[in-house]
Chain A
């Protein structure tokens, strides 16, 4: 797997968690709602701080450069990092 694709997989897994299904069973293609190449390029930016937010069917997704993936205001991926930082 291309290392920059890891974020794409994390986003798909986060959505699958929310939808209670396997990643390949999601009923939509991420690419139809967000430019997946843009996600790859953002993931490849080592020292940049960024946030990306987009809508998919029934959900709002926010991805952050610190690794957090937030779906509908709930941190689905990277929560432990959030807790460790003491953020509220």
Chain B
């Protein structure tokens, strides 16, 4: 074995090819120089578009109050637990006509988080539980709760859960 060069541990799993200096690219990791050529490891391909799309889907899923309520209700109970609808989307602080909310959930709201695998719904009776990607939406709202003191007042006042987290609500 003539090559005793120490290479990064992670390089072992990468397919290694030989590149000339003109082929230095951001998606290559520099390993070293051997026989006057650069040895680069091809990094795992990073699909930046996919990451952007994921964030767009997450915020779209959270872009309506009933959908945020569903996510918070599941996060507060347990994502595996089946919650009844429309109750889980209808907090006591902003009670909406259950029949109207039911129509909105069926025809507008539920298909959006379901499409991202954030939640799964079931019928007769209508209910919801967390889906395989539930954590992706839950982490956004839970992050807001953990830094609630930094959230501008205009986003806190009127939002029952943020008000409670900031201790603005009477017991």
Contacts and interface: CB of A to CB of B under 8 A. Distances in A.
Interface of A: 1, 5, 8-9, 12, 23-24, 26, 29-32, 36
B165 to A, nearest CB: 25
B107 A12 contact: yes
Q: Does more than half of chain A's interface fall in helix, strand or loop, or is it mixed?
A: helix
Interface of B: 96-97, 99-100, 102-104, 106-108, 110-112
Given A1-B96, A1-B97, A12 B112 contact: no
A1 B100 contact: yes
A9 B103 contact: yes
Contact of A36 (B96, B102, B107): B107
Contacts of A36: 107-108
Contacts of A12: 103, 107
A30 B108 CA distance: 7
A5 B105 CA distance: 12
Nearest to B97: A1
A47 B97 CA distance: 29
B100 A9 contact: yes
Contacts of B106: 24, 26, 29
A56 B97 CA distance: 26
